[in-house]
Chains A and B, each alone.
Chain A
Amino acid sequence: MKEKRQDKQFVWNRKHLLSLRELSAEEITYILDTAKGFEEISTRSVKKAPPLRGKVVVNLFFEDSTRTRNSFTLAASRLSADVIEFTEKGSSVAKGETLLDTARNLEAMGVDIVVIRHSAGGAPKLLSRSIKACVVNAGDGFCEHPTQGLLDVHTIRKIKGSLKGLKIAIVGDISHSRVARSDMWAMTKLGAEVVFVGPPTLMPSQVGRLPVKVSYSLDDIIEKVDVINMLRIQFERLGGNPFPSVREYSHYFGLTVERMKRAKPDILVMHPGPINRGLEMESEVADGEHSVILEQVKNGLAVRMAVLFLVNQAAALGD
Chain B
Amino acid sequence: MKVILNSRRIQQILKDLTGRIISEIGGRGDIAIVGIRSRGEILGQRLAALLSKKLNKDVLHGTLDITLYRDDLNSPQKNGQPHVRTTEIGFDIEDKIIILVDDVLYTGRSTRAAMDALIDLGRPKAIKLAVLVERAGREFPIQADFVGYRAKVTPDQSVQVSLVESDGKDEVSINQTQEPERKKSKIKLRKK
Contact = CB atoms under 8 A, between A and B. Distances in A.
Interface string B32-74: 0000001000000000000000000000000001011100011
B139 interface: no
Interface size range on B against A: 20 to 34
A4 B166 contact: yes
Interface stretch (A47-55, A167-175, A246-254): A47-55
A306 interface: yes
B81 to A, nearest CB: 5
A4 B83 CA distance: 10
A261 interface: no
B76 interface: yes
B161 to A, nearest CB: 15
Interface stretch (B84-92, B95-103, B176-184): B84-92
A48 B69 CA distance: 11
B164 to A, nearest CB: 11
B86 A36 contact: yes
B185 interface: no
Contacts, number: 62
A48 B84 contact: no
Interface stretch (A127-135, A143-151, A287-295, A311-319): A311-319
A188 B36 CA distance: 36
B27 interface: no
B65 A37 contact: yes
Interface string B135-167: 000000000000000000000000000000011
A12 interface: yes
A8 B80 contact: yes
Nearest to B67: A37
Given A1-B166, A4-B38, A44-B121, A50 B68 contact: yes
Nearest to B72: A316
B120 A51 contact: no
A252 to B, nearest CB: 44
A49 B77 contact: no
B120 A46 contact: yes
B95 to A, nearest CB: 14
15 contacts: A4-B38, A8-B80, A37-B86, A46-B120, A49-B69, A49-B117, A50-B69, A51-B69, A306-B84, A312-B74, A313-B81, A316-B76, A316-B77, A317-B81, A319-B76
Question: What 3 pairs between A and B have smallest CB-CB spacing?
Answer: A37-B84, A49-B68, A51-B68
